[in-house]
Chain A
């Protein structure tokens, strides 16, 4: 159900498994061991999340005297007010600009590259070489390139601007995007490409009118993944910006933590407030994300 997209992007409906017994016919008896692990893990995931949410609604006074796992009797939004007054809106806008500014171009150029690699990668040594370069990018911890990136950004006179974060973010997003998207473009039936050609379509036209509609789910998945990574990115803003005006949310969280010190409820409120937008987006794009995960990595 959640996963109609399977290995390497082959869109195989999972009807076979769903149409039979819903209890998963391959499994005889119950998987007690796995079940116990899964439920315990769920508790382990939820306790810190629950704790941070209820703590953010407590006053400093009640936080120190109350049992930390009991929700406050009179919840307060004072901590949220404090966070908003500490420049949260500015940081939020900065993060939004960086994320949109990096995700859209990164996905577009990765899609074009994936299309080219699938369409002509078999013949063109240039494209094969480009493809192996991108794949190499998956094995290299790109964080290790941060010092020269810093140097390049200084030389471009872009230090302490949002563009300084955007440019390397685009580059770092390319390898995985090209890999996932080319797996999907490869699934477009060859006959369709041929009929487009017979109709006299250009490659550019084929890209937009054939490949684009057919890979739209993969494009959405890639955008969500890149967006999540860039929205949550910490190292690039830490190194490439300096002034509070250019701060993005993860960096702002880190400075809030220093600023609020032992005011744990305020720290908690900053964590919750910065997470809410992503949770809302997750609620909307959940299906896309989970099925895309299966498509991108399984087997």
Chain B
């Protein structure tokens, strides 16, 4: 179909092919681009546009200037929701990262039982957030759950009825669901560290702990950035889990931005203010991704989130 030009200067397979023009190949990207533009890019711009309107979800949309922005920005609920979002984000990062690193390094060993462990670890990832939330809700129920059944006073608390406990439960359930995933990411990362580095360290008499901090950890730098990015950006979208587990409660204690957006928009039918929250959510996501990318520094070609 295409005429071949001199091999392209850059040694990438992608740069050979039809010389100068991309016409016949480029259209292959068109369907994906069209779908993505229609149901992701347009809504992304649309949410900004809707934040300057008022709409109840059914009747006509009317422009309302900065009213929604004014309403949301002066609402004490906003700093609270942002605070809850970042609290859950920070706590779940702090709990998950050391655990998944530790387990990931262990899983990187080639023993067969460790392969089996990896297989079992994957199970929480198969379950829907709704199923997990329902399971833990039943398990932690003060009257009908595990605590009462075992008559263990420690477990017999009203886990989802007290604000700080509910935040703790959300973080614990999130970790239950995702620590295995990040452990498997770290397992992959550790297995790529050249053995020669460890051999050299052994010759120099470095112990296990020294090896971990001087070789494993620095070598995993980009894996840590990737895993953290997924954790942090992913934590903005814990909607399903929190919605089913606590519905933002008790008394807004777990009402993070995504839940706040849903409740304003689809329960209080205030789509304008809900769109403002959505715009803030997008800006926080982009900001965090850029920040983490900056932290990762150099080597952009290998970063899994290049271009972000």
B122 touches A289 (CB 8 A): yes
| Interface residue tally for chain A (C-beta within 8 Å) | 133
B185 touches A297 (CB 8 A): yes
Bound CA span A286–B126, Å: 11
Q: Could you say which residues of chain B place their CB within 8 Å of the CB of A299? A: 188-189, 192, 222-223, 226, 302, 304
A115 within 8 A of partner (CB): yes
B198 touches A26 (CB 8 A): yes
| Chain A interface main SS type | helix
Q: How big is chain B's contact interface, by range? A: 35 or more
Bound CA span A38–B104, Å: 9
A141 touches B285 (CB 8 A): yes
A147 touches B236 (CB 8 A): no
A28 touches B202 (CB 8 A): yes
B33 touches A141 (CB 8 A): no
Count CB-based A-B contacts (< 8 Å). Answer: 402
Bound CA span A222–B5, Å: 34
B134 touches A254 (CB 8 A): yes
In the complex, residue of chain A having the shortest beta-carbon distance to the beta carbon of B148: A68
Return B242 CB to nearest CB of chain A, in Å. 11
In the complex, residue of chain B having the shortest beta-carbon distance to the beta carbon of A132: B307
A51 touches B1 (CB 8 A): no
A51 touches B146 (CB 8 A): yes
B102 touches A141 (CB 8 A): no
A188 touches B13 (CB 8 A): yes
B72 within 8 A of partner (CB): no
B41 within 8 A of partner (CB): yes
Q: Could you say which residues of chain B place their CB within 8 Å of the CB of A168? A: 39-40
CB contacts under 8 Å to B, within A115-142, are 115-124, 126-127, 130-142
Binds A, one of B75-83, B105-113, B160-168: B105-113
CB contacts under 8 Å to A, within B34-84, are 35-44, 46-47, 49-50, 57, 61
In the complex, residue of chain B having the shortest beta-carbon distance to the beta carbon of A135: B307
In the complex, residue of chain A having the shortest beta-carbon distance to the beta carbon of B25: A120
Bound CA span A2–B109, Å: 12
Give a binary string over A47-84; 1 marks a CB under 8 Å from any B CB, 0 the rest.
Answer: 01101100100000001101111000000000000000
A118 touches B128 (CB 8 A): no
CB contacts under 8 Å to B, within A22-42, are 22-29, 31, 33-35, 37-38, 41-42
Q: A139-B285, A139-B286, A298-B185 in contact; A45/B180 too (CB < 8 A)?
A: yes
Return B197 CB to nearest CB of chain A, in Å. 9
Return A57 CB to nearest CB of chain B, in Å. 15
Bound CA span A175–B262, Å: 24
| A122 interface neighbour in B12, B27, B39, Cβ under 8 Å | B12
Give the interface of B toward A (CB within 8 A).
1-2, 4, 8, 10, 12-18, 20-22, 24-29, 31-33, 35-44, 46-47, 49-50, 57, 61, 99, 102-103, 105-112, 114-115, 117-131, 134-139, 141, 144-146, 149-150, 176, 179-181, 183-185, 187-189, 191-192, 195, 198-199, 202, 208, 222-223, 226-227, 230, 233, 236-237, 239-240, 243-244, 258, 261-262, 265-266, 271, 274-275, 278-279, 281-282, 285-286, 288-290, 302, 304-308
12 residue pairs from A and B, CB less than 8 Å apart: A34-B106, A35-B106, A44-B176, A112-B29, A112-B32, A116-B29, A151-B50, A178-B32, A228-B126, A250-B240, A278-B126, A299-B222
Known: A31-B106, A294-B191. 16 other contacts (CB 8 A): A8-B302, A22-B112, A28-B202, A110-B32, A123-B20, A140-B286, A141-B236, A143-B239, A190-B12, A264-B144, A268-B135, A274-B128, A274-B131, A279-B123, A293-B181, A298-B192
